Structure 1
Amino acid sequence: MRAGLQMARGLEPRVGQGTTSPTEAARATIRAFTEHDVPAAAALFARVYPEHGWTSQAACESYFREMLFDNPWRDLQLPSWVAEEDGNITGVQAVMPRPMRFRGRPVRVAVSTQFMVDPDKRHSLTALQLAKACLSGPQDLTLADGANDRSRRMWIGIGGTAPLLYSLHWTRPLRPARYVLSLLEGRSAFPPALTLAARPLAALADAGAARLRPNRFYREESELAEDALDPPTMLAHFPDVLDGNALQPVYDARSLAWLLEQTARKTRHGRLRARAVRDGGRRLIGWYLYYVQKGGVSEVVQIAARDGSFDRVLRRLLADAWRHGAAAVRGRLDPRYVQELSDRHCWFRWGHSWTLVHSRHADIMAAIHQGDAFLSRLEGEWWLRFLGG
């Protein structure tokens, strides 16, 4: 719900625009999203998110088709939904099916993304109708991982939950002065000329900080080695690195290759880098995927490790990002590794977006709330490019 259940733009009232009474919402017809609805959905996207405009309407339509109708997990029993009034599409609830496994048994997951309502219908019940249609499907779990607080309140109101553990993010500054400078630049706190002039001073400060014991990223374990990570390697070792998680993603060669290709195309965060970490005997102990962002914050997509090896993989990630010029590294919290992240001087905070879940199965919900699920940024909607590549 970076787009999924993103109601901030589509549902907040605006002065001077028309409204729709709740009684009028009863006329909205909720039905399955078909490929014929793509042009109308793309046009609605442009109205709801004008600041995230695509290069063309055709490009936006093409991405809708690719994600909703050509993804490798398409399941006709888990469709996306539209709200229609008087022949016009006034709302969209996009759904991407994902297969997972819970304690050995297969489960179907519906990932919510692109939850949009026409601005003129923000006071109607259209959003509620769409959300209920989504939750009424045969899936075992519904998941969204980019919702705002307004969305969270509605989600909880219809029986869902917002597990805090999977809504927290960790950040590890690598170049503290440059990191602070990047935050100021992002918020336009100072004139560009001033922040540009401050960069040499920040570099000097960070050179001194790199000599402190916690920041000696250039000193690595000599017995560890790295090489490029590819889908076949990940598939072969998923059983090793996911062992112990009650809820696990399920991939095959086609779906994993497609997902990683799509993730690499999300260049707004930088260049995707994927590395396998091996011990002295060439045994794979884990891997990391992150976007290289020189001088900025490098976003971590996934860290996976064998039991007892997370800290070693994390240290390799931090060292690699430091070598590539990142000011800081940020990722979603994996609740199992709070201690290891804390030991490496990472700090935790809520990142202004919520992970939302809903299931009729109490054991699945309990496992998620206990932190017993492997839910990286590849398993939800974070990697999608609807709101910018």
Structure 2
Amino acid sequence: MPEIRPVTAQDLPAIALLFQRLLRSEGVELNALADYMKTLFLEGPNYDPDLPSKVHVRDDGTVSGFFGIFPLVMEYAGKTMRAAVCGTFMVEAREDDPFAGARLLRDVLAGPQDLSFTETSNDLATALWRRVNGHVLPDYSLEWLRILRPASFVADRAAERVPAARLITPLLRPFDALAQRRKSNWMGYVPEASRADAFSDADVSEDEAAELIPTFLRQFALRPQWDAERLRYMLAEARQKALHGERVLRVVRARSNGAPVGLYLYYGDAGRLGRVVQILSLPGREGTVIDRMLNHADSRNMPALRGRTQPALLSAMMGRKIAFVHASSTIVHSRHPELMEAFTSGRAFINGLAGEGWTRLIGDRFA
């Protein structure tokens, strides 16, 4: 009979091979990936023997599936809640055992946690989650895109398939400059100083960011209960995403008194699409933080930014010429109606740092 059990260090080479075959179109250095998975899933603050990551094992003892779990302590109405952040979920040879994925998911959801959620569910996994009463959260499940330099953006996207296309990017700068002179935000990006001229932004250290982040979460009814040590660990792990480019971590402050009003974290290089992991702000300052972030990316000659929505940001994104598309789903499962209501009403903080977006599994080469 197939078996589902907690992952061990001996499973990691097989899991790394599954990851390369099923989730990466380009090769990775398997030993480096296995070492990172050991750090991520079996050591440090992401390991909890009561909420372990799981493997699906065939009758012959070979690993055919994996579900990576990040334990997370959350707070709701003054009470501590245990959450299982459901990350990498993969099963191979589904035609040989079509129910392996369903068994693996059911086993994880039967754990002692108060709630479980994922932010990276594809269509196949979403169908499995729906069968076990998982609730898809539309307002958390959209990808947003803001184009800054349209010609460079087209070249960058073409380079994903034909790398030589990147060589023409410098030749397209006059077309991007023309788009900016037309002052049509749909055709490019025109900085609007009036929206954020009373604020400034600057690079921030991981230590200071770890102290600031909890202050921006107080507005959420259901939120992670992170201490500074845990946040420093996550931000340190998030330093390197070779496929996504340089990490940018900046705090936004009021010019009048230097008070912090928000923070943003994204990855990207000049001429490349930037990927936003997190936008945080005080209530009512969401638009200011978004504007400062767009201005910063524009100053670095980046063609566009993309990221994951959160309900708290949607209102501020309206009117800023941001497009939305669905690529994967954020899904939650809980036996507690009050927690489900916090999610469906948009009063829960998840995605990004409260997910797996900070890990090197998304965006690094392991070479």
| TM-score, with structure 1 as normaliser | 0.85
Tell me the SS of whatever aligns to 2:318.
helix
Going from structure 1 to structure 2, the CA distance change for 1:47 and 1:283 (only over 3 Å counts) comes to: closer
Q: How does 1:140-219 map to 2 (within 5 A)?
A: 140-188=114-162, 192=164, 196-197=167-168, 199-200=170-171, 202-211=172-181, 212=183, 214=185, 215-217=189-191, 219=193
TM-superposed CA distance for 1:180, in Å, is: 2.5
Tell me the SS of whatever aligns to 1:268.
coil
TM-superposed CA distance for 1:119, in Å, is: 2.1
Counterpart among 278, 281, 292 of residue 316 in structure 1: 292
Q: Distance in 2 between matches of 1:50 and 1:288?
A: 27
Partner letter of residue 140 of structure 1?
Answer: D
| Alignment correspondent of 1:347 | 323
Q: Distance in 2 between matches of 1:50 and 1:179?
A: 23
| Alignment correspondent of 2:331 | 356
TM-superposed CA distance for 1:377, in Å, is: 1.2
Query: Is the CA contact (8 Å cut-off) linking 1:96 and 1:111 kept in structure 2?
Result: yes
Partner letter of residue 357 of structure 2?
Answer: W
TM-superposed CA distance for 1:28, in Å, is: 0.6
Q: Distance in 1 between matches of 2:279 and 2:169?
A: 33
| Alignment correspondent of 2:360 | 385
Q: How does 1:116-127 map to 2 (within 5 A)?
A: 116-119=90-93, 122-127=96-101
Going from structure 1 to structure 2, the CA distance change for 1:338 and 1:305 (only over 3 Å counts) comes to: same
Query: Is the CA contact (8 Å cut-off) linking 1:46 and 1:53 kept in structure 2?
Result: yes
Query: Is the CA contact (8 Å cut-off) linking 2:206 and 2:236 kept in structure 1?
Result: no
Give structure 1 stretches of 5+ with no counterpart: 1-26
TM-superposed CA distance for 1:360, in Å, is: 1.0
Q: Distance in 2 between matches of 1:373 and 1:40?
A: 35
Counterpart among 229, 253, 259 of residue 254 in structure 1: 229
Runs of 4+ in 1 over 6 A off after TM superposition: none
TM-superposed CA distance for 1:361, in Å, is: 1.1
Tell me the SS of whatever aligns to 1:322.
helix
TM-superposed CA distance for 1:252, in Å, is: 1.7
Going from structure 1 to structure 2, the CA distance change for 1:276 and 1:157 (only over 3 Å counts) comes to: same
TM-superposed CA distance for 1:304, in Å, is: 0.7
| Alignment correspondent of 2:44 | 71
Partner letter of residue 205 of structure 1?
Answer: F
Judge which range, 238-247 or 160-169, deviates more: 238-247
Query: Is the CA contact (8 Å cut-off) linking 1:73 and 1:255 kept in structure 2?
Result: no
Going from structure 1 to structure 2, the CA distance change for 1:90 and 1:342 (only over 3 Å counts) comes to: same
Query: Is the CA contact (8 Å cut-off) linking 2:251 and 2:260 kept in structure 1?
Result: yes
Query: Is the CA contact (8 Å cut-off) linking 2:155 and 2:168 kept in structure 1?
Result: no
1:326-375: CA deviation from partner (whole Å, max 9, x where unpaired): 1011111121222211121111111x211121111111112112221222
| Alignment correspondent of 2:106 | 132
Q: Distance in 2 between matches of 1:292 and 1:38?
A: 30
Partner letter of residue 382 of structure 1?
Answer: G
Partner letter of residue 318 of structure 2?
Answer: S
| Alignment correspondent of 1:4 | none
Going from structure 1 to structure 2, the CA distance change for 1:282 and 1:137 (only over 3 Å counts) comes to: same
Judge which range, 38-47 or 274-283, deviates more: 38-47
| TM-score, with structure 2 as normaliser | 0.89
Judge which range, 44-53 or 236-245, deviates more: 44-53
Q: Identity, % of aligned pairs?
A: 32
Tell me the SS of whatever aligns to 1:269.
coil
Q: Distance in 1 between matches of 2:65 and 2:225?
A: 31
Q: Distance in 2 between matches of 1:198 and 1:236?
A: 40
TM-superposed CA distance for 1:139, in Å, is: 0.8
Judge which range, 77-86 or 310-319, deviates more: 77-86
Give structure 2 stretches of 5+ with no counterpart: none
Q: Distance in 2 between matches of 1:174 and 1:124?
A: 44
Q: Distance in 2 between matches of 1:81 and 1:246?
A: 30
| Alignment correspondent of 1:5 | none
Partner letter of residue 359 of structure 1?
Answer: S
Query: Is the CA contact (8 Å cut-off) linking 1:140 and 1:359 kept in structure 2?
Result: yes
